[in-house]
Structure 1
Amino acid sequence: MTPSEITPRLRQARSALLFSYVAQGAVFALLVTRIPGIQTQYKISDGMLPIFLAAVPILAGVGSISMEHVVKKTSPRAVLRVVQPLVCLTLLGVGLGDQMWEAAVALAAFGLAVGGLDASQAMSAVALQHRYGRERSIMQAFYAAFSLGGIIGASLAWTQVHFKLSLLTMFGSVGVVVALSVLVAGRWYAGPEELGRAVEEATEAANRSIPWKPLLPLCLAMCVAYIGDATVSNWAAKYLQEGLHSSDQMTTVPYNAYMVVMLVGRLLGDSRVQSWGSVRTVRLGAAVCALGFLLVAVSPGAWIAVAAFAVVGLGISVIVPQVFAAGGRLFPKDSDAAVARLNIFNYVGFLVGAPLVGGLAGAMGYRIAMLVPMVLILAVFAVSKAFGPSAVQQPAADTVAV
């Protein structure tokens, strides 16, 4: 589609979906930055906390897979209009109770709903990309919008602690306001009239049979990057609270710093790739991320730890987009199928990272636990050649997929 064919209605749909990503980032950040407060309110032990945190991505995966079938019978717009307000209301549910079983129910509902939200948002984004055409990439903007939402959500968490508001007050007010906002924005989500067959084309592309083997190095890079991301989102606040004995207010700051630098890194990432090339950019990103986690582990105080988590964000910000870009180069005719497979390892990284780092923190302390993602991210060096200009040709029609 040429710029002249991109209608005002299509631009409105893109803007509405960008707002949806901002809203998702804000809700997610508000929840994860207040894990210490949730743990206190529900009296969840340190031993049980990793189990709770591991259950959320598992249920998100279930919700994502289940919602894909619902989308096929309805549309991404219809699902998105329903599940995103539900995610906001589950945030309200997390603030309501004080018994452990209530936390389990609320977080389970959040996991299932956010998985459905993830799937419907991704399908809408990919369909819009199809309509805009491959010559104009709009996907990076959605990642940046999520980061912007994360900054807003972490800032709201700081406000909640600073003004000594209850979780119910903050989660409830944010949940209701964001739910109403996305209900309004839902009027402009792209539907069949704007997308045409774009959803079906994207789904057909994602379901095409392509071999796994060329993608495995990129899958590994995606997995370790999201282990690092899961470490920051799930354990940064706890590390400052228990490892560095920081105030509750201070525990909300590291994720905010991480997302601010992540946003800047994503906005400037394309220029770095053009100057340095993909392989060098990814290697440098992995080295910076590892350095960040090392600084986190040895930080003598809270503010140095905050700066170290920001360094982690700078490193990770360039890896994930380049994973998707490299997958597209490997399979230029089936880039959507490659992206769909690589995106699975987002969940794998969260599923591994949350309990692994939490379990080690309980057994050996947070400083030792923070060295684990530092070591794992260095695996990117071993597979970095996979990010270079692809020597792999599009597989022939008679190639048997693994």
Structure 2
Amino acid sequence: MHEYSKAHNRVRAIFFLHGAAFSSWVPHIPLVQERLGLGHDDLGGILLAAAIGVLSVMPIAGRLSDRFGSERVVRYSGLFYFIAVGLPAFMPSYLSITIAMFALGFSGAFLDVAMNANGLNVERLRKRSIMSGLHGFWSLGGFAGAGIAAAWFALPIPVTVHLPVVLTVFLIAHVIAQAGLVPDTVVHAQTSASDAQQSDRDHTTGTFEKQRSLIVFLLPFGICAFIGQFGEGVITDWATVFMNSELSSGPTMAAVGFAIYSCAMAATRLSGDMLVTKFGRARVLLTSSFLASTGTFIIALSPHFIVAWIGCAVAGMGLAVILPLLLSAASKATGKGGGTVVSIIAATGYSAIMAGPPVIGAIGEAFGLVKAFIVTASFLALIIPVYVLTMRKRLQFAGNG
């Protein structure tokens, strides 16, 4: 059990570093936009390149994690990711930024799938829900990265050295943390006996899946993941731009708003496993949809950036547990873990976090960012009817964690 705790802590560290690196890049987005004179549609175009990078890795990331071990994929994909995050801020042209954003999306998704697969495997070893907590550490990393960026921007230090310094530190920490991840072979050996004892549940799930394929069974999970991650991608890439351009916050106050969002998300995710156990997956999912939609509406209709901060906090609480809840529930409902479930859910959910921003960029260019955020808020509310129409029975298979 002590070894499992160590593996749990190491995968927590990987999640933290992934979030810290990504949120360190986010405050640079409006600076890149201003430096190159990009319109909302142009900015959406380079964000689309990241989405294409994500989509291109999805068919192979889960398979490679299952074949070679998620711990190995985490090790090597991380080396590329922490370099790729810093590239877009220094590219001199639209074409070069587009290529750099593709590399960021590709390497980030590769690491994301592998670390989630490793997390699901550790969850099976520990026999309790841990995925929300792992994503909580991602958000803690996001809060730390955004907070460091806000402080850095406020001090008389060149912003051009921000990313090289922090990403070098994160890369070294990644190399140390990945060495303690639990190998997939150990997970499979330790869980084989308990899997045999769960044959009744597997038979029940299998009966359901005889009528429908695994992909069809997981489709509602993927749709809800897409909706939630769409909103997360929009707020991550556009909230700072919205506050800077629409509410005249300036880059420092916009970075503070994103730090508040990350902090609210982290706090909710760290308590998410307890909330699921106490209230059930269905109630937590529906409440999350309501809060995410409401928070995004508050941002859209804010008269001042301080009010937008409140919206960031509410949206952060709402978006926090949607993806980890769905990943854990899908793994338990099907009896499958690791790369199999992550790759299927990620094919819809993780693509949305990159696909959402360019879509909203196009809407923002045509109709304004206020209306674009209203569209996002309305979209986030659609999780509720998806659950009512398709997910009740599926979540019964998963239980409460």
User: Structure 1 length normalisation: TM-score?
Assistant: 0.84
- Counterpart amino acid of residue 333 in structure 1: G
Given that residues 222 and 345 in structure 1 are in contact (C-alpha distance below 8 angstroms), is that contact kept between their aligned partners in structure 2?
yes
Cα distance in structure 1, aligned partners of 2:395 and 2:21: 41
Distance 1:191 1:271, change over 3 A: closer
Deviation at residue 230 of structure 1 after TM alignment: 0.9
Tell me if 1:159 matches 2:151.
yes
Cα distance in structure 2, aligned partners of 1:391 and 1:131: 21
User: Partner of 1:399 in structure 2?
Assistant: none
Tell me if 1:315 matches 2:322.
no
Aligned partner (choices 77, 86, 93) of residue 83 of structure 1: 77
The worse-fitting range, judged by mean Cα deviation, of 10-19 and 290-299 is: 10-19
Cα distance in structure 1, aligned partners of 2:276 and 2:123: 21
Tell me if 1:377 matches 2:380.
yes
Given that residues 129 and 328 in structure 2 are in contact (C-alpha distance below 8 angstroms), is that contact kept between their aligned partners in structure 1?
no
The worse-fitting range, judged by mean Cα deviation, of 335-344 and 76-85 is: 335-344
Deviation at residue 227 of structure 1 after TM alignment: 1.3
- Counterpart amino acid of residue 150 in structure 2: W
Given that residues 62 and 115 in structure 1 are in contact (C-alpha distance below 8 angstroms), is that contact kept between their aligned partners in structure 2?
no
Q: Per the alignment, in what secondary structure is the counterpart of residue 103 of structure 2? A: helix
Given that residues 43 and 99 in structure 1 are in contact (C-alpha distance below 8 angstroms), is that contact kept between their aligned partners in structure 2?
no
Distance 1:194 1:69, change over 3 A: closer
Distance 1:108 1:363, change over 3 A: same
Given that residues 25 and 86 in structure 2 are in contact (C-alpha distance below 8 angstroms), is that contact kept between their aligned partners in structure 1?
no
- Counterpart amino acid of residue 140 in structure 1: S
Given that residues 265 and 319 in structure 2 are in contact (C-alpha distance below 8 angstroms), is that contact kept between their aligned partners in structure 1?
yes
- Counterpart amino acid of residue 247 in structure 1: G
Superposed CA deviations along residues 254-300 of structure 1, whole A, max 9, x for unmatched, are 22111111122222334444554433333322222222122111111
Deviation at residue 43 of structure 1 after TM alignment: 4.1
Given that residues 295 and 312 in structure 2 are in contact (C-alpha distance below 8 angstroms), is that contact kept between their aligned partners in structure 1?
yes
User: Partner of 2:23 in structure 1?
Assistant: 29
Given that residues 117 and 342 in structure 2 are in contact (C-alpha distance below 8 angstroms), is that contact kept between their aligned partners in structure 1?
no
Tell me if 1:269 matches 2:272.
yes
Tell me if 1:11 matches 2:13.
no
User: Partner of 1:216 in structure 2?
Assistant: 219
User: Partner of 1:170 in structure 2?
Assistant: 162
Given that residues 82 and 170 in structure 2 are in contact (C-alpha distance below 8 angstroms), is that contact kept between their aligned partners in structure 1?
yes
Tell me if 1:59 matches 2:80.
no
Q: Per the alignment, in what secondary structure is the counterpart of residue 98 of structure 1? A: coil
Matches of residues 1-400 of structure 1 in structure 2 within 5 Å?
6=1, 8-71=2-65, 74-132=68-126, 135-191=127-183, 194-195=186-187, 197=189, 210-328=213-331, 331-334=333-336, 337=340, 340-385=343-388, 386-388=390-392, 390=394
The worse-fitting range, judged by mean Cα deviation, of 64-73 and 97-106 is: 64-73
Superposed CA deviations along residues 38-95 of structure 1, whole A, max 9, x for unmatched, are 2233443332110111211220232343444544564333332222122112233334
The worse-fitting range, judged by mean Cα deviation, of 35-44 and 251-260 is: 35-44
Cα distance in structure 1, aligned partners of 2:231 and 2:44: 15
Given that residues 42 and 103 in structure 1 are in contact (C-alpha distance below 8 angstroms), is that contact kept between their aligned partners in structure 2?
no
Given that residues 322 and 387 in structure 1 are in contact (C-alpha distance below 8 angstroms), is that contact kept between their aligned partners in structure 2?
no
Deviation at residue 335 of structure 1 after TM alignment: 6.2
Percent same amino acid among aligned pairs? 20
Superposed CA deviations along residues 135-157 of structure 1, whole A, max 9, x for unmatched, are 32232221111011000111122
Given that residues 223 and 349 in structure 2 are in contact (C-alpha distance below 8 angstroms), is that contact kept between their aligned partners in structure 1?
no
Deviation at residue 112 of structure 1 after TM alignment: 1.8
Deviation at residue 363 of structure 1 after TM alignment: 1.1
Deviation at residue 326 of structure 1 after TM alignment: 4.4
The worse-fitting range, judged by mean Cα deviation, of 101-110 and 70-79 is: 70-79
Task: Give me the CA root mean square deviation.
Answer: 3.0
- Counterpart amino acid of residue 30 in structure 2: P
- Counterpart amino acid of residue 137 in structure 1: S
Unaligned runs of 5+ in 2: 196-201, 203-208
Cα distance in structure 1, aligned partners of 2:148 and 2:103: 22
Specify which structure has the higher proportion of helix.
Answer: 2
Distance 1:189 1:259, change over 3 A: same
Q: Per the alignment, in what secondary structure is the counterpart of residue 251 of structure 2? A: coil
| Count of aligned pairs between the two proteins | 381
User: Partner of 1:397 in structure 2?
Assistant: none
Distance 1:392 1:257, change over 3 A: closer
Q: Per the alignment, in what secondary structure is the counterpart of residue 87 of structure 2? A: helix
